[in-house]
Amino acid sequence: MNALAISLIQTALFWEDKARNLAMLEEKIMGISEKTNLVILPEMFSTGFSMKPESLAETMEGETIAWMKRVAISKKVIVTGSLIIQEDGNYYNRLIWMLPNGSFGFYDKRHLFAFAGEDQFYTAGKKRLITSVNGWKINLQICYDLRFPVWARQQTTESPEYDLIIYVANWPERRNHAWKTLLTARAIENQCYVIGVNRVGADGNQIYHSGDSMLIDPLGSVLFSNEHEEVIHHVELKKDLLNEIRSKFPFWKDADDFHILQDEQHD
C-alpha cells in the first residue's frame, strides 16, 4: 500500500490525427515491461493542443474514451491524460482518470490559456479532482493550471489533502523556465511529490515543445528530468519517505487555513 509505480510517457504527437496518436501510444503502453500502476500521457494526447474542437471533439462515449478503457483493462493499469470532449453544447479540455476495471473519473481544465485563445473555444472546469490509488491521494491538473497556486494549494491544516500533483501539458519550450520553476514551487509549498508530463516536438502551429517532463520530491529536489527526447520513464514512489519528510519538516501545519468558494451558479 505504500508504493506507487508510475510510467511517464513524453512523446511527440501527430497534429490533429487521432488514429495515428492512439496507435502510437497504444504501442508504447503495451510495450511497457516494468510493473506499473499508472501511465501518464500529455495534454490533448490524441490531437495536440488544438483550437478546432468543432471538428475534433468527442463525446464521453467516443472512440478515445473507448480506447482508454480497452487499453487500461488489457494492460491492467490506470491511464490518464486529457482530450477534447463535447458535452451539453460545450467543449472541455478534459483529463480522464481511467481505471483498470473500465470505470473512470474526470477533471475539466480550470484555467484556460487565453494567450492562445483557449478560452474562446473551451469551457472552464469548476471542480478539482483528487483521487486515490494504493493509499496515495493524487491531485490532477492540466498545463496552464500550474501558474495558479491557489487552485493547487493544500486546503487543510488538519492533514495534507493529497500526496502527489500530476500536471499533463503541452508547454512550449520558449517558456520552459516557468514550467520547471513552478513545478518545483508546487512541490515545496504543498510538501508533496509533483509530476509534470509534457510533449516534445513542433505542433501544427510550429510551436516547439522541449518536454522537460519532471518528477520532483516534497523538498524540491528534481528526481527526474528529460528534454527534447521521446522517453518512457518509470518510477516507484514510496509513501514511507513522504511521511518521513512531512514528519521531520511539518511546515504544512503552519499554512494558512482557507477554502476556495464558488458562486452558487457554478456549483
Q: Which stretches of the chain score pLDDT less than 50?
A: 263-267
The answer to the question of residue 110 being in a domain is yes
Distance (Å, whole) CA 163 – CA 18? 33
The answer to the question of residue 262 being in a domain is no
Burial of 51 (0-12, 13-18, 19+ CB in 10 A): middle
What pLDDT digit, counting tens, does each position of 160-193 carry?
Answer: 999 999 999 999 999 999 999 999 999 999 999 9
Which residue pairs from 221-228 have beta carbons closer than 8 angstroms and sit at least 24 positions apart in sequence? 222/184, 224/8, 225/180, 226/10, 227/176, 228/200
The answer to the question of residue 261 being in a domain is no
pTM value surpassing 0.75: yes
18, 58, 69, 109: which one is catalytic? 109
Distance (Å, whole) CA 191 – CA 186? 8
Distance (Å, whole) CA 238 – CA 104? 25
The answer to the question of residue 239 being in a domain is yes
Q: Which CATH number is 117's domain given?
A: 3.60.110.10
pLDDT at res. 253: 85
Instruction: Find the angle CA(213)-CA(111)-CA(258) to the nearest 5 degrees.
Output: 100
The answer to the question of residue 264 being in a domain is no
Total number of domains in the chain: 1
Decide if 109 is catalytic. Answer: yes
Place of cell 473519473: 105
Domain of 152, in residue numbers: 3-256
Distance (Å, whole) CA 69 – CA 84? 16
Decide if 238 is catalytic. Answer: no
- CB neighbours of residue 43 within 10 Å: 25
18, 118, 143, 173: which one is catalytic? 143
The answer to the question of residue 11 being in a domain is yes
